[in-house]
Amino acid sequence: MRKVLQAGLLVAVLGLAGFPALAGDEEAFDVAKHYTVKVRARVELPFFGDHRGTYHGAGFVVDTQRGWILTNAHVVARSPSVVHVSFRGGEYIPATKLYVDPVIDLAVLEIPAKSRPARLQAATLDCSQMPAIGHVVGAFGHPWNLSYTGTRGIISGITSKFAGMLEMLQTDAPINPGNSGGPLISLKSGKVVGINTAVRRGSQNTNFAVPMVHACHILTLLRQGKDPSPPELGMAFVLDIDEANRLVVARVYKGANGASVPRAPRLDPIAEGANGPSLARTPRLDPIADGPTAGDVLREGDVIRSVNSDGAVENKGQLIHRLRGRLKNTMLHIERDKQKMDVRVSLRPVVSTPARGGIHVSGALFAAMPWVEMREVMDKHMGLMVHYIEPGSAADAQQIRPMDMLLSVDGQPAPDIDTLHRLLTEAEKANRPARIKLLRLSDIENNFFVYVERPMPVTGLRRITGGNGPSS
């Protein structure tokens, strides 16, 4: 018994010996205080996936000359938002959304030169490689409004299954509301290896971060004046539960390239909401270069092996990462019916639903349907959806609901923003309600969908513009 107790005590002592923070940990967290900021964003008119109100999170400086700050997209919102940041001990100052990625949960903010602190310090980034499993890291941010707080853990894994498409760093370093957008720091090198992003609710210390390998690539393209937007692939892929490291095409959406909007990744937010009135700068849609699109040359069952011979592609996240900045006349190396071949494609950048704009009328916000998969099986005249209903508005009084899909206005199809605006303008000029026909996911047993018709007064009609600038 004595020997057993001694052995147990030895294990306990050894376990404790490796756990306490090292001097390097203290130095890394102390340095992080100088480049980490608080981020606050306010949203008045939220698109799908965002919420009305004020969000709080973290960010960190990545470029002192340009005044760039890196954070999560869900901290500053994909919807129009007013954003402010504050440095340790300072007041909140305005910031502009320079770039918000419509796929990966990442945003780049810009601070005006006149508002920057005199001694702006940037984080040192590890852009070279993914950290190894077991690598000791620290999450830094403002959890539960506890400012400039660090927690310690390890890299638990790298997964492409979280959110269905993104390569994410998995860590057991505790992450809580307020950590979103803050740095995940290597406690060995002091370099930032990821952006604290999400927590798996109901789990014990299963947290996720956007890898700096991906974020650095976006920053490099922005510095070069190139569009870092991900590609509009116009296809879906087989979910490989066995992790065979094969990217297999499951479905090609004909004619969808450059026109559809992908499903936004569902990341469990770890910060309370963000959002407000100007959109991020939206990359210009360049015309497709001469050559076939992905939908023209790829088929179901094709296995995508690499892009321009730039290393193997094992998942959708890697494919998107390698296609950024090189969408025109790109060579894909594929395998079809066990035969290797090269195909050349041209792609357009993804444009987020908020960047495409919307219609705000009678307290309802109509914008593009965010699910290309659903649009494939729905009526060809459908393309718009209710994203938000203001409580107490005329639309609310008519029991119009978020996620209602628009079929017609006054008996005429309204598949796009221009058509909807025209039909509502006609009703407004005639001083009459517009008869809205909607398709709704049913809460009635044995009914998947129900049809809803409502006479909606046309008040406060306005277009919400995409790209730069406020709503108009």
Q: Which helix H or strand E contains 25, and what residues bound it?
A: helix 23-35
Backbone φ, ψ for residue 288 (5° rounding): -65, 135
**Contact criterion met (CB below 8 Å) for 44 and 52:** yes
Handedness of CA 243, 246, 252, 255 (dihedral sign): positive
Which residue is catalytic, options 105, 126, 172, 302?
Answer: 105
- Report the candidate in 304, 290, 298, 288 with the shortest Cα–Cα distance to residue 235: 298
Q: Name 248's Cβ contacts closer than 8 Å, sequence gap at least 6.
A: 237, 238, 240, 301, 302, 303
Q: What six digits make up the tokens of 238?
A: 């087989």
Backbone φ, ψ for residue 84 (5° rounding): -135, 150
Residue with the two structure tokens 């469990």 = 268
Whole-angstrom distance, CA of residue 14 vs CA of residue 16: 5
Can you tell me whether residue 319 is helix, strand or coil?
helix
Residue 306 known to be catalytic:
no
Q: DSSP letters of 115-180?
A: GS-TT--PPPB--SSPPPTT-EEEEEE-GGG--SEEEEEEEEEEES-GGGT--EEEE-S---TT-T
**Contact criterion met (CB below 8 Å) for 458 and 424:** yes
Residue 74 known to be catalytic:
yes
Can you tell me whether residue 231 is helix, strand or coil?
strand
What is the identity of the amino acid at 133? I
Backbone φ, ψ for residue 347 (5° rounding): -130, 155
Whole-angstrom distance, CA of residue 166 vs CA of residue 163: 6
Which residue is catalytic, options 50, 56, 74, 142?
Answer: 74
Q: Which helix H or strand E contains 295, and what residues bound it?
A: helix 294-297
Q: Which residues pair with 235 in a beta bridge?
A: 252
395 DSSP assignment: H
Compute the chain's Rg from CA coordinates. Answer: 24
Which residue is catalytic, options 160, 180, 306, 346?
Answer: 180
Residue 180 known to be catalytic:
yes
Q: Residues, the chain, total?
A: 472
Residues serving a catalytic function are 74, 105, 180
